[in-house]
């Protein structure tokens, strides 16, 4: 199964509406992505909790492909 | 040291008894995926003793570990019984110095 950048972005935004999402297809194979996500919902949460929020927004659709997604979360002022 | 474990009960015991336990794809001598390899590299750089466990040995164990940790991917790093994170988090913590700080505050020997 392969995803595209728009799919990942819309899944994240569905759960974290204020998120600024930058997704890169790392090697151009629709299978290895990096996602930088900035959201106010991350404020005051641990990095672990922030990453869990991102995983939870994707988990249904991406269960098997998640290994190929690298995540970086940032708080929004 | 590489341990072979096939159920979550043993994993819990191992996490309890050892300072640092890494659940990964492959072993530290032969990582089976790039993300696992990166965490191995980081732990080797910080020069700590750790246990590595290959989750690819047993598909059921792998799935049960995901549920136990409540984390969908591997590697999974545990320090003093506590889940720290996967590759991205460990990498970030290493780069900011938080990882070494964590080892220090937990009283884990960092051999320099």
By the 8 A CB rule, do A34 and A23 touch?
Answer: yes
- Chain A and chain B share a number of CB contacts under 8 A equal to 31
Q: Which residues of A touch B71 (CB under 8 A)?
A: 52, 55
B89 and A CB contact within 8 Å: yes
Of A21, A24, A1, A18, which Cα lies nearest the Cα of A9? A21
Residue A71 scores a pLDDT above 70: yes
Residues A34-50: pLDDT tens digits? 999 999 999 999 999 99
Q: Which residues of A touch B56 (CB under 8 A)?
A: none
Nearest-CA distance B84 → chain A (Å): 7
Residues of chain B below pLDDT 70: 112
Q: Distance between CA atoms of A64 and A77, rounded to whole angstroms?
A: 33
Domain definitions of chain A by residue range? 5-75
Residues A58-70: pLDDT tens digits? 877 666 665 578 9
- Tell me whether residues A52 and B83 touch, CB distance under 8 A: no
CATH number of A5-75: 3.30.300.90
pTM of the model: 0.91
Residue A28 scores a pLDDT above 90: no
Work out the end-to-end distance of chain A between its first and last CA atoms, rounded to an integer number of angstroms.
Answer: 36
**Strands B76-79 and B82-85, how do they pair?**
antiparallel
**Strands B51-54 and B2-3, how do they pair?**
parallel
Residues ≥6 apart with Cβ < 8 Å to A49: none
Full set of structural domains in chain B with CATH: 2-105 (3.40.30.10)
By the 8 A CB rule, do A51 and B85 touch?
Answer: yes
Q: Distance between CA atoms of A34 and A8, rounded to whole angstroms?
A: 10
């Amino acid at each position: 199964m392969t995803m595209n950048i728009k799919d990942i972005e819309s899944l994240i935004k569905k759960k974290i509406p204020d998120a600024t999402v930058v997704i890169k297809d790392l090697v151009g194979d629709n299978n290895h992505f990096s996602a930088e996500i900035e959201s106010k919902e991350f404020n005051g949460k641990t990095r672990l909790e922030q990453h869990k929020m991102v995983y939870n927004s994707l988990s249904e659709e991406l269960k098997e492909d998640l290994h190929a997604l690298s995540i970086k979360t940032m708080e929004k002022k | 040291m590489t341990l072979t474990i096939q159920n979550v009960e043993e994993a819990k015991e191992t996490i309890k008894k050892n300072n640092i336990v890494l659940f990964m794809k492959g072993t530290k001598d032969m990582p089976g995926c790039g993300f696992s390899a990166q965490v191995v590299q980081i732990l080797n750089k910080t020069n700590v003793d750790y246990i590595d466990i290959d989750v690819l040995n047993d598909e059921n164990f792998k799935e049960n570990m995901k549920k136990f940790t409540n984390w969908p991917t591997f590697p999974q790093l545990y320090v003093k019984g506590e889940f720290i994170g996967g590759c991205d988090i460990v990498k970030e913590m290493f780069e900011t110095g938080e990882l070494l700080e964590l080892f220090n505050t937990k009283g884990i020997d960092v051999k320099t």
